[in-house]
Amino acid sequence: MFVDSHCHLDRLSENTHGGSLAAALDAARARRVTQFLAISVTLEELPGLAEIARAHADVVISAGVHPLHTVAEEPGVEAIKAAAEQFDAVAIGETGLDYHYLGNDNVPGRECQHERFRNHLIAARELELPVIVHTRDAKADTLALLREHTDPRIGGVLHCFTEDIEMAREAVRLGFYISLSGIVTFANAEALRDLARQLPLDRLLIETDSPYLAPVPHRGKSNEPAWVVEVAECIAQVRDISVDEVAMQTTANFYRLFQQAAPQASPEVRDALTQAGLL
């Protein structure tokens, strides 16, 4: 079984299964994808995400504001907490720091991103929910804020990870998981594949970040949750282990981290993980 630990189900392309979310989820289920974490990038879209989760028992959601999203009024800690509780979010985020586009029009500045990230980290700690972190070109500041404001017993995940092994190891030390996306399959991603080889398997998650970053051999197309399997296959290949081992371990990792999603795991998944000694 597989889990897509990070997907934007409310943003799937009209070209994906004719724009049918139900068909896209069925295609993923047919490939043994048993759980989906639908990610919030604005608080305004939470009602729509919650509706998706109500319609599909294997979908859970997060609550947060993406670091590159411009808002009319910056949400404080209490607003983030209230949104997460109202819509039964299992995690806070995605949040974080992204310096890649600093200086561009309509991109929040460094100070704004820091304030937003800090508010999300505090909300996550107070709610005892894991935090989903987006980080790009902001290694030192991301780690500094994680050290200051997170509880290693709760932790979180650095999603769609593309930074170096040193950052990954420090994040793991702080109680975080590292999630790999379709980028790991790209021809120019040898450093990321080396990271996938070196990190402990019990600290890895897999994701699509769909509709973005479709893996090889689908690169250039709109991504979808079914293709999280290709991410697992790549990790299995570079580690010289079976795809089933990657699937089982990353699924167990998901439920260890996102504990509020565990009750929605199917009995078959729970039994398989228990029999394998992973839960």
Q: What is the pLDDT of residue 188?
A: 96
The mean per-residue pLDDT over the stretch 102-111 comes to 92
6 is in an annotated binding site: yes
66 among annotated binding-site residues: no
CATH of the domain at 196: 3.20.20.140
Residue 208 neighbours by CB under 8 Å, 6+ apart: 4, 6, 7, 181, 182, 214, 215, 223, 224, 225, 227, 228, 231
Q: How many domains does the chain have?
A: 1
pLDDT of residue 261: 95
Q: Give the pLDDT band (50/70/90) at residue 237.
A: very high
- Is there a contact between 64 and 92 (Cβ–Cβ < 8 Å)? yes
- Residue 267's pLDDT band, with cuts at 50, 70 and 90, is confident
Question: What φ, ψ does residue 69 adopt, rounded to 5°?
Answer: -85, 130
% of the chain with per-residue pLDDT over 70: 100
Averaged over 215-244, what is the pLDDT? 98
The first and second tokens of residue 136, run together, are 């790009």
Structural domain that includes position 178: 2-275
Q: Is the pLDDT of residue 279 over 80?
A: no
Q: The tokens of 36 are what? A: 């989906």
Say what percent of the chain tops pLDDT 90. 91
Whether pTM exceeds 0.95: yes
69 marked as binding residue:
no
Omega into 225 within 30° of 0, i.e. cis? no
209 is in an annotated binding site: yes
Say what angle helices 139-149 and 165-173 make with each other, to 10 degrees.
0
For 202-220, letters b (16+ CB in 10 Å) and e give ebbbbbbbbbebbbbeeee
